[in-house]
Amino acid sequence: MRFLIRSIVLASCLAFTIQPSAKAAEVASGSYWQSLDEALRAKNEQIWYDTAYWNATVQWNEALAANKAAEQTPKTTQPQPKVNSDSGPQSGDRFDRLAQCESGGNPATNTGNGYYGAFQFTLSTWKGVGGTGLPSSHSYSEQKEKAIQLASQSNPGTQWPVCWYR
């Protein structure tokens, strides 16, 4: 590219040297070539700057488009993490609220549908966390301890699908 530009400039300079003028004297002295070289250097710097600016603009726009696309994609819900007995600054203990939702907080609840106690354990789940007998025959504090143990071993949202999220 530089060779092409210099060739064109050289041809135009030759035209100046044929016709006697003030430019011809400047060309002959060499100052014309020096100013031409400076002008070409400045033009190349401008081209480099414009190219760098364009590339940066394209990269920025691509990054913005990628961020926008990421914001528009639906987020998948992850299972709730294993938790301890309190979820935070809400009123009351999380497991107390869970028992209230499941059975009205009554540890002696036996509905006859295979779910027992304040946390509505099945017998297999109760025995899986070390319980003996029926959950409804044990104290609320023991049932709560087993519920906390169960929540720490598995996703509580699958154990109590309705009341855990309330």
CATH at residue 135: 1.10.530.10
Cut 0.85: pTM above it? no
| 78: helix, strand or coil | coil
Q: Is 155 part of a structural domain of the chain?
A: yes
Q: Is 129 part of a structural domain of the chain?
A: yes
Encode pLDDT of 13-71 as tens digits: 555 555 555 566 666 666 766 777 787 777 777 776 677 666 666 676 676 677 777 67
Q: Is 147 part of a structural domain of the chain?
A: yes
Query: What range defines the domain where residue 106 resides?
Result: 94-165
Note the pLDDT of residue 76. Answer: 60
Note the pLDDT of residue 92. Answer: 64
Q: Is 89 part of a structural domain of the chain?
A: no
| 116: helix, strand or coil | strand
Q: Is 49 part of a structural domain of the chain?
A: no
Q: Is 44 part of a structural domain of the chain?
A: no
Q: Is 140 part of a structural domain of the chain?
A: yes
- Distance between CA atoms of 89 and 60, rounded to whole angstroms? 42
- Distance between CA atoms of 65 and 71, rounded to whole angstroms? 10
Q: Is 125 part of a structural domain of the chain?
A: yes
- Choose among 82, 103, 100: nearest CA to 91: 100
What is the count of structural domains for the chain?
1
Number of residues in the chain: 166
- Distance between CA atoms of 15 and 12, rounded to whole angstroms? 5
Residue in the block written with tokens 């993490």: 81
- Distance between CA atoms of 17 and 32, rounded to whole angstroms? 12
Encode pLDDT of 74-102 as tens digits: 666 555 544 444 433 344 689 999 999 99
- Distance between CA atoms of 121 and 77, rounded to whole angstroms? 26
- Distance between CA atoms of 107 and 111, rounded to whole angstroms? 12
